[in-house]
């Protein structure tokens, strides 16, 4: 079985023509009765060797970190980052193995970021919260620079999301530092969730920019957009559901539970329009919690979890089975210029 990544690689290498690839996609789509863009192809595992190499790489990186810890503060991160880069030169640049490439990218960026963190932690310096936030922004910027460097060399799709996440941390930390510089007694906690939501919307906008540059989802840009959507989804969902009271324990009421369902439906409409399921997945836990408590309040105590799972699971399976026609109905209500830029939008609305 050939993946979308294999098909793209064959076209780039000249093994098959672009027209032949399109014909193959159309044929496969017809067999599944869904446009190929709706399938959200992305390469993760091509065989068990990916898992085998990933396990071995993790063992090596853990060992490098343990040796570094025994030498001096910051050496662990340096060894992890160096080992991850060296392994990527073979398994990413030459072998093009997806899962090991993702793990090695995260290890490299995490290793670079952990160097100043370990050094500062060992120094046990008693700085103010504003200074700590400023240092956090610097570490985030360092991680973003590491992600950019890795992208320039290996172009692993998840790298852009890693860099965007690091930049989001940088900007949030800078905002908190600025607020505390104005008022030293300020409690930054009430400002964190609004800042996370704004950052999440920014990442979502970036994801849409990558998505709309490849509406047919034939290139690496679609994979980049997938990981950006996966990053943006929890950053958007968590603040919204926190404000509805879902994260406050068992104090959620009927109105809050209904609010969760309304927000989830709106997220579902957005997910259908942009043809990305990440929003639905990231908010699923909150909906399950809200529905469970809702059924409990209505007296379905013993079976509240089972009933919730039955309803939500059935709804999601039905949505998956009829994703294309439902999406077609949603996209057809959008302006024509927007339809043409969405993945498969022009085809669905035709």
**Average per-residue pLDDT in the chain?**
83
The token pair that represents 224 in the structure block? 């980049």
Residues 268 and 334 in one domain: yes
Residues 139 and 223 in one domain: yes
In a domain, 167, yes or no: yes
The confidence score (pLDDT) of residue 312 equals: 85
Burial letters 193-230, b for 16+ CB under 10 A, else e: eebbbbbbebbbebbbebbbebbebbebbbbbbbbbbb
Number of domains forming the structure of the chain: 3
Residues 231 and 210 in one domain: yes
Residues 147 and 213 in one domain: yes
The confidence score (pLDDT) of residue 39 equals: 59
Residues 174 and 208 in one domain: yes
pLDDT in tens, 155-197: 999 999 999 999 999 999 999 888 887 877 777 888 899 999 9
Residues 253 and 340 in one domain: yes
Checking if the pLDDT of 133 tops 70, the result is yes
**Range of the structural domain that residue 96 is part of:** 34-126
C-alpha to C-alpha distance for 342 and 350, rounded to whole angstroms:
13
| Percent above pLDDT 90 for the chain | 39
In a domain, 6, yes or no: no
Pure H helices in the chain = 4-13, 18-32, 48-71, 75-91, 98-123, 129-154, 158-182, 189-212, 220-243, 254-274, 278-282, 284-297, 304-321, 323-331, 336-341, 345-349
Residues 219 and 249 in one domain: no
Residue with tokens 């072998």: 95
Do the beta carbons of residue 45 and residue 1 sit within 8 Å?
no
Q: How many CB atoms lie within 10 A of CB 288?
A: 18
The band of 58, judged by pLDDT with boundaries at 50, 70 and 90, is: very high
Which of these three, 126, 144, 172, is where a domain ends? Answer: 126
Residues 347 and 255 in one domain: yes
The band of 33, judged by pLDDT with boundaries at 50, 70 and 90, is: very low
In a domain, 27, yes or no: no
Residues 143 and 114 in one domain: no
The confidence score (pLDDT) of residue 334 equals: 82
pLDDT in tens, 217-265: 778 888 899 999 999 998 998 898 888 877 765 556 677 778 888 888 8
In a domain, 147, yes or no: yes
Q: What is the DSSP string of 218-277?
A: -SHHHHHHHHHHHHHHHHHHHHHHHHTTTTSSS---HHHHHHHHHHHHHHHHHHHHHT--
The confidence score (pLDDT) of residue 345 equals: 57
In a domain, 70, yes or no: yes
The confidence score (pLDDT) of residue 264 equals: 87
Phi/psi-derived region of residue 156, left when phi > 0, alpha when psi is between -120 and 50, beta in every other case = beta
What are the two backbone dihedrals, phi and then psi, of residue 309, each rounded to the nearest 5 degrees? -60, -40
Residues 230 and 299 in one domain: no
The confidence score (pLDDT) of residue 300 equals: 56
The band of 26, judged by pLDDT with boundaries at 50, 70 and 90, is: low
In a domain, 320, yes or no: yes
Burial letters 26-44, b for 16+ CB under 10 A, else e: eeebeeeebbbbbbbbbbe
Could you tell me which residue, 3 or 152, shows the higher pLDDT?
A: 152
Residues 121 and 135 in one domain: no
pLDDT in tens, 120-131: 888 877 777 778
Angle (CA) 323-326-328 rounded to 5° is: 105
Residues 157 and 113 in one domain: no
In a domain, 337, yes or no: yes
Report the half-sphere exposure of 78 (CA within 13 A, side-chain side).
Answer: 12
pLDDT in tens, 281-338: 888 888 887 777 776 666 655 666 777 788 888 988 988 888 888 888 888 888 877 7
Could you tell me which residue, 112 or 259, shows the higher pLDDT?
A: 112
Q: Which residues contact 326 (CB under 8 A, 6 or more apart)?
A: 272, 319
């Amino acid at each position: 079985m050939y993946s979308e990544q294999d098909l793209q690689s064959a076209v780039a290498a000249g093994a098959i023509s672009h027209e032949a690839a399109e014909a193959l996609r159309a044929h496969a789509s017809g067999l599944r009765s869904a446009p190929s863009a709706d399938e959200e192809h992305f390469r993760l595992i091509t065989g068990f060797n990916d898992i085998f190499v990933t396990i071995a790489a993790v063992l090596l990186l853990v060992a490098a970190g343990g040796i570094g810890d025994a030498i001096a503060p910051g050496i662990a991160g340096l060894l992890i980052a160096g080992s991850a880069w060296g392994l990527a030169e073979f398994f990413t640049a030459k072998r093009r193995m997806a899962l090991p490439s993702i793990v090695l990218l995260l290890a490299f960026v995490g290793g670079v970021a952990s160097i100043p963190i370990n050094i500062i932690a060992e120094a046990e310096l008693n700085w103010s919260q504003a200074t700590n936030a400023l240092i956090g922004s610097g570490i985030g910027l360092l991680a973003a620079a590491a992600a950019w460097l890795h992208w320039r060399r290996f172009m692993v799709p998840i790298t852009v999301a890693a860099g965007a996440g690091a930049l989001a941390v940088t900007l949030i930390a800078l905002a908190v530092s600025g607020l505390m510089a104005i008022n030293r007694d300020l409690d930054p906690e009430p400002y964190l969730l609004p800042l996370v939501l704004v950052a999440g919307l920014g990442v979502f906008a970036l994801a849409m920019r990558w998505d709309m540059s490849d509406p047919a989802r034939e290139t690496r840009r679609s994979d980049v957009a997938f990981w950006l959507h996966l990053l943006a989804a929890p950053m958007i969902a968590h603040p919204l559901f926190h404000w509805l009271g879902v994260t406050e324990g068992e104090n959620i009421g009927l109105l809050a539970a209904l609010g969760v369902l309304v927000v989830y439906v709106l997220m579902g409409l957005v997910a259908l329009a942009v043809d990305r399921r990440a929003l639905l997945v990231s908010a699923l836990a909150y909906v399950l919690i809200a529905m469970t408590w809702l059924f409990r309040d209505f007296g379905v105590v013993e079976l509240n979890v089972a009933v919730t799972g039955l309803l939500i699971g059935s709804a999601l399976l039905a949505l998956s089975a009829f994703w294309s026609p439902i999406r077609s109905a949603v996209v057809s209500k959008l302006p024509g210029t927007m339809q043409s830029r969405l993945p498969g939008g022009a085809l669905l609305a035709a």
